[in-house]
A and B are shown apart, each in its own frame.
Chain A
Amino acid sequence: MNFYDEIRRTPWDEVRQDIENRSRIDVEKALAASPLRLEDFMSLLSPAAEPYLEDMAQMAHRLTQQRFGRVIGLFAPLYLSNVCTNACTYCGFNVHNPVERLTLTVDQAAAEGKHLHDLGFRHLLLVSGEAPHTVTVEYLAGVLARLRPLFSSISIEIYPMETVDYQTLIHHGVDGLVVYQETYDERRYREVHPAGKKRDYLWRLETPERGGLAGFRRIGIGALLGLNDWRTEGFYLALHARHLLRAFWKSHITISFPRLRPAAGGYQPPSPVSDIHMVQLMTALRLFLPDAGLILSTRESPNLRDHLIPLGITSMSAGSRTEPGGYVHDSHAEAQFEIADDRSPQAVSEIIRRKGYEPVWKDWDAAFLH
């Protein structure tokens, strides 16, 4: 069964109601379950689970240490372009925003990469808007030829592509794919994506699958927190992760927690997610999916990030700039979102150490590439 069929068998409103109706007894049963079933996971997402947040946090902490150890991976995003043909209502790159647009030349991208390498990074995330005529496969191949020798792992978070294009990028040295569905609710999805290729819900939903077929070693998914009821969104996120785990059992599945932040255009999230609820979502996901990588960006504040380290996070970005050219090119191009944690990678790695974890800059090797 494909994932879209799975979604249609479990309508949004029913899932939402089901989660809302969970009782404390359901939650206690879920906390005692091993392994957790989807039913149990729904209980942990429910309002009834809120009094058990500390228990969930303790369990998530122990489970993560056991599966991943006392280590936190570090990576940096490299924004290649903020050119975008989409009109996502929440995004600074929205085609209608009258902001400065920039696509790095291959030389500029190489210089940004060199800077990140010198800071210690060995895991890189290449980011762009939906600009298939600007950020072409050929352009990416040129960038990768320059960056590949500097990094042991390179992932992409660009526009959705066909399987064959992903295969080309894997051939040029990309090993991970990141693509967020933003919201799994098809109605809300259409409201916030009024124009551009991204309007096509199904095309985006099936992107991780095309990536899995192409052979990415890491597949990252996420929902944009703030667009919709986080509990229901969390359910579909976990359902998606489980679907991908089973379909592409040789790929490592990771989940990110992008929470809506102020961006150009002044977007106000319709369903803001509090810190408490973010922790509930994160720890519930950890308990349901013990081996998923959980990833945290610099969208969040230093204080919150520091406290989330022992709660199930496996990897975080540090020292990020979200405008193309932001590291060494004195760029005035528009950033995708405002950074809340602007500490240097060295400062973040020092905090990780102080929390009793080893910051890991390299946990992959170019030798895995065919």
Chain B
Amino acid sequence: MMSDTLIIAGRSFHSRLLLGTGKFSSPQVMKRAIEASGAEVVTVALRRVELENPQDSILSAIDAGRYLLLPNTSGARDATEAVRLARLARAAGCEPWIKLEVTPDPQYLLPDPVETLKAAEILVKDGFTVLPYIQADPILAKRLEDIGTATVMPLGSPIGSNRGLKTREAIEIIIEMANIPVVVDAGLGAPSHAAEAMEMGADAVLINTAIAIAGDPEAMAGAFKKGVEAGRQAFLAGLGRTHKTAEASSPLTGFLRG
């Protein structure tokens, strides 16, 4: 089998599981979960960290040599705020990669398509590698790709809901039409959900809540790792078509070719 690497903006990753760092019961638990997940990209909310503080509990638990620290703009409710946060992170020494989250409603944290597009335009022009969190909207995904975002990250279901791929049909279209990696983000609550996304041909998934609030986050991280790998392997192996009815072993039109 050819080597199967995930390439985002020219950078290669072996793992197709990205991890969020919110909601963990301690930095130590988070650290062990990251290790068990095999993730190479770890996203952290800028609102939660003190970038200038070397003792920050989250940042000091993540080895910047081993993981790509992907700052996110969680909490931003419009393009202006998201852009400001991204620039502050870069000014504080983060790599110019940004997971763009513009979620004006604090209830379901659903992404604002208009403001996300606006912010992406500004940040891409500004030299950022932009990974935008979006609704599973195929046209929005293409518009973002046209602008030059590095990925699109459509949601499976609302953040933290653990409800799985409720947006499956739209994500299938996004995958079919995309020339950039599609990372399914948000709502995946079980390794089987992650496997399902990967079987569909998603390039990667991002998991946070399902691991952070599991009874044993480290073990759950390992389970998601396997789910992602199994789904990817199945996708590459070529899944058989599914049928609505049984395939007749004595075809009715066989006599025509007899």
Contact = CB atoms under 8 A, between A and B. Distances in A.
A276 interface: no
Interface string B76-90: 110011001100100
Interface stretch (B6-14, B17-25, B147-155, B191-199): B17-25
B209 A365 contact: no
Contact of A360 (B48, B85, B88, B213): B48
A353 B57 CA distance: 13
15 contacts: A67-B160, A69-B24, A69-B213, A70-B25, A71-B25, A249-B107, A250-B104, A291-B107, A358-B27, A365-B88, A367-B81, A367-B84, A367-B85, A368-B75, A368-B81
Contacts of B160: 66-67
B104 A70 contact: no
Contacts of B104: 249-250
Contacts of B76: 368
Contact of B88 (A249, A367, A370): A367
B26 A358 contact: yes
A245 B107 contact: yes
Given A353-B26, A367-B81, A368-B76, A70 B48 contact: no
Interface of B: 22-27, 46-50, 57, 75-77, 80-81, 84-85, 88, 104-108, 160-162, 209, 212-213
B131 to A, nearest CB: 19
Interface of A: 65-71, 122, 152, 245, 249-252, 291, 353, 356-358, 360, 362-365, 367-368, 370
Contacts of A152: 47
Contacts of B84: 367
Contacts of B85: 365, 367-368
Given A250-B105, A358-B26, A363-B47, 6 more contacts: A69-B24, A69-B209, A249-B107, A357-B25, A358-B27, A365-B47
Given A65-B213, A69-B23, A363 B48 contact: yes
Given A66-B162, A367-B81, A362 B50 contact: yes
A71 B104 CA distance: 22
A338 B160 CA distance: 38
B77 A250 contact: yes
Nearest to A357: B25
Nearest to A65: B213
Q: Chain A's interface: helix, strand, loop or mixed, by majority? A: loop
Nearest to B23: A69
Contacts of B57: 358
A81 to B, nearest CB: 30
A352 to B, nearest CB: 10
Nearest to A366: B88
B75 A364 contact: yes
A70 B106 contact: no
A61 to B, nearest CB: 11
Q: Closest 7 A-B residue pairs measured CB to CB?
A: A69-B23, A70-B25, A252-B106, A291-B107, A365-B47, A65-B213, A250-B104
Contacts of A356: 25
A362 B23 contact: no
A67 B88 CA distance: 27
Contacts of A245: 107
Nearest to B75: A368
A117 to B, nearest CB: 12
Contact of A362 (B26, B47, B81, B162): B47
B75 A70 contact: no
Contacts of A66: 160-162, 209, 213
A206 B76 CA distance: 27
A358 B107 contact: no
Contacts of B23: 65, 68-71
A363 B213 CA distance: 18
Given A66-B209, A245-B107, A368-B81, A358 B24 contact: yes
A70 B21 CA distance: 11
A221 to B, nearest CB: 15
A367 B49 CA distance: 12
Contacts of A357: 25
B213 A251 contact: no
Contacts of A68: 23
Given A66-B209, A249-B105, A365 B26 contact: no
B105 A362 contact: no
Contacts of A358: 24-27, 57
A227 B76 CA distance: 39
Nearest to A253: B106
A105 B26 CA distance: 39
Contacts of A363: 47-48
